[in-house]
Structure 1
Amino acid sequence: MIPAKIIEVTPNNVEKETLFCIKDMKKPEAKSKQKWFEKRYKEGLKLKILKDANDKMLGFIEYIPASNAWRPVEADNFMFIHCMYIYAKKHRNLGLGAMMLKEAENDAMSKHMDGLCVMTSKGSWMADKRLFEKHGFNQVDARGRFELMSKKWNAQAPDPSLIDWTTKQQNYMGWHLLYADQCPWHEKSVEALLNVAMDHGIDLKITKINTAQEAKNAPSGYGGFNLLYNGKLLEDHYISNTRFRNIIRKVL
């Protein structure tokens, strides 16, 4: 393992340490994520950045008590990992992921929780489950392209489970986009999609997801970004204006 240290981001040092996935804290999308982070910090969210000996950022992990997770998961007294990422391929498979997982595990144990859980997928914007399997996680639920992985040290605790987001989709007739500021790139995508919708005379209804409970009840597995048309989920992660134009051509 290369020499590395973990820095915890707090509302007091976020301007200096950044949010990892966006470095320029003066950008509007960074400010939106910062406001989201500061509110969630009060709910137990932890954002920790992994750095090398020269203070270069290598990766990060974001986790929160599952009761406040922004994913469709039920996991009483578990810690839920929102995001985890090692930036450069050359730094992967060096034990850095294990280091961050151990950080979350120690934190959960210190709070007398029953275990950790995380959603994984082979598709976009999610970690592959193989990383977690290497470190004692087992698959406890699955839906669509998503798996729910869990590592628990209290054998008596019920396994975490996924909430069925497909039943929510029929409530969204017409064009709908639901999004949260959890990802700093959502705001830019929403603006781009609105412009495309206007060009095509489409009434795209925008709904901001403001609470963990709203995210848990969102109509997709990712929760934080949901594009739907007439009760069908079209995308569950942010997309470009070009991608949206292609979707419109296929749907209409």
Structure 2
Amino acid sequence: MEITKIREVTPENVMEETLFCVKDITNPGFTCKRIWFEKRYKEGLRIKILKDDSGKMIGFIEYVPIEYAWRPVDADTFMFIHCMYVYSKKNRHKGYGSLLINEAEKDAQELGFAGVCTMTSKGAWIANKSLFEKNGFMEVDGKGRFELLSKKWDTTAPDPKLFDWTTQQKKYRGWHLLYADQCPWHEKSVEALLNVATDNGIELKLEKISTAEEAKRAPSGYGVFSLLHNGKLLEDHYISATRFRNILKKELLS
């Protein structure tokens, strides 16, 4: 393994360290995520970036006390991992992901939490569960394409569980897009989808999720992005304009 160092992003150094997923500080998505991050930092949210000895970014992890998690999860005294990613394929299977997970575990133990948990999936924009299982996590709940994994050192603590996000979907009649700044790429996707909707004479109603509680009660497993039409969830992660055009064709023909 190369010589590595872990840098914690703070409101004071975020312009220098950036946010890993988006490094261009002039990008509108960076600004949205930065503002969101600075508010969440006070709630205990942490972003840590793994770098090699030359300063090149290898991967990152974002985690938060589960009370303030922006996912449909329910538990007490757990740390929750929002995102964890090792960028380059050549850097995978070298133990870097485990180093990042260990950061969340270490902070959770220092704060007296019962354990750490996360959501995983084989689908897009979220980590696969295999790495977490290698680090001692166990699946404790699941719904649709998502699994909830937990690692706890307080065996008396109840396991975390998932909220049933499908119960929220029926109330969304017409076209709806719910999103949050937890992901810096949402801003670009929302603008693209709005333009496509306008071009096709579709009224796409936007709702920006502004609190963790709203995200927990969102109509999708990902929590921070939901595209719905007449009570049906069509996408649970950000998409391109081309993907939305294809969705429109299918929905309008059905």
TM-score, with length taken from structure 1: 0.99
Ranges in structure 2 where 5+ consecutive residues have no aligned partner: none
Q: Which amino acid aligns with 1:155?
A: T
Check conservation: 1:83, 1:126, Cα contact below 8 A. Answer: yes
Aligned position for 1:232:
232
Amino acid at match of 1:194: L
Compute the displacement of 1:28 (Å): 1.2
In structure 2, what is the Cα distance between the partners aligned to 1:239 and 1:139? 28
Deviations, residues 58-86 of structure 1 (Å, cap 9, x unaligned): 00000000000000000210000000000
Structure 1 vs Structure 2 CA RMSD: 0.5
**1:78 has 2:78 as partner:** yes
For 1:189-240, what per-residue CA distance to the aligned partner results, in whole angstroms no more than 9, with x for missing partners?
A: 1011111111111110000000000000000000110000000000000011
Where do 1:10-49 residues align within 5 Å? 10-49=10-49
Please report how far the alpha carbon of residue 3 of structure 1 lies from its aligned counterpart in structure 2 after TM superposition. Answer: 1.2
* Alpha-carbon separation, structure 2, partners of 1:97 and 1:137: 13
Q: Which residue of 2 aligns with 1:205?
A: 205
Counterpart of 1:89 in structure 2 is 89
Q: Determine what percentage of the aligned residue pairs are the same residue.
A: 67
Q: Is the 8 A contact 1:114 1:152 kept in 2?
A: yes
Could you tell me how far 1:2 is from its partner in structure 2?
A: 1.8
Q: Which residue identity does 2:121 align to in structure 1?
A: S
Q: Tell me what 1:122 maps to.
A: 122
| Structure 2 residue identity aligned to 1:140 | V
The question of whether the paired residues in 2 share the 8 Å contact of 1:2 and 1:94 is answered with: no
TM-score (normalizing by structure 2): 0.98
**Structure 1 contact 180–186 (Cα < 8 Å) conserved:** yes
Task: Give the Cα–Cα distance (whole angstroms) in 2 for the partners of residues 169 and 98 of structure 1.
Answer: 36
- State yes or no: 1:155 paired with 2:155: yes
Give 1:146's aligned residue. 146
CA distance, structure 1, for counterparts of residue 31 and residue 155 of structure 2: 41
* SS at 1:136 equivalent: coil
How far, CA to CA, are the matches of 2:52 and 2:75 in structure 1? 33
**Which residue of structure 2 lines up, in the alignment, with residue 175 of structure 1?**
175
CA distance in 2 between partners of 1:10 and 1:175 (Å): 37
- Aligned-partner Cα distance in 2 for 1:191–1:76: 37
Cross-structure match for 1:135: 135
* CA drift at 1:129: 0.5
- What pairs with 1:212-227 in structure 2 (closer than 5 Å)? 212-227=212-227
**1:108 alignment partner in structure 2:** 108
SS, match of residue 177 in structure 2:
strand
Secondary structure (helix, strand or coil) at the match of 2:151 reads strand
Letter of the 2:19 partner, please give it. Answer: L
Specify the code of the residue in structure 2 equivalent to 1:66. Answer: I
What secondary structure, in the 3-state scheme, does the structure 1 residue paired with 2:29 have? Answer: helix
C-alpha distance in 2, partners of 1:135/1:30? 31
Separation in 1, partners of 2:2, 2:52: 8
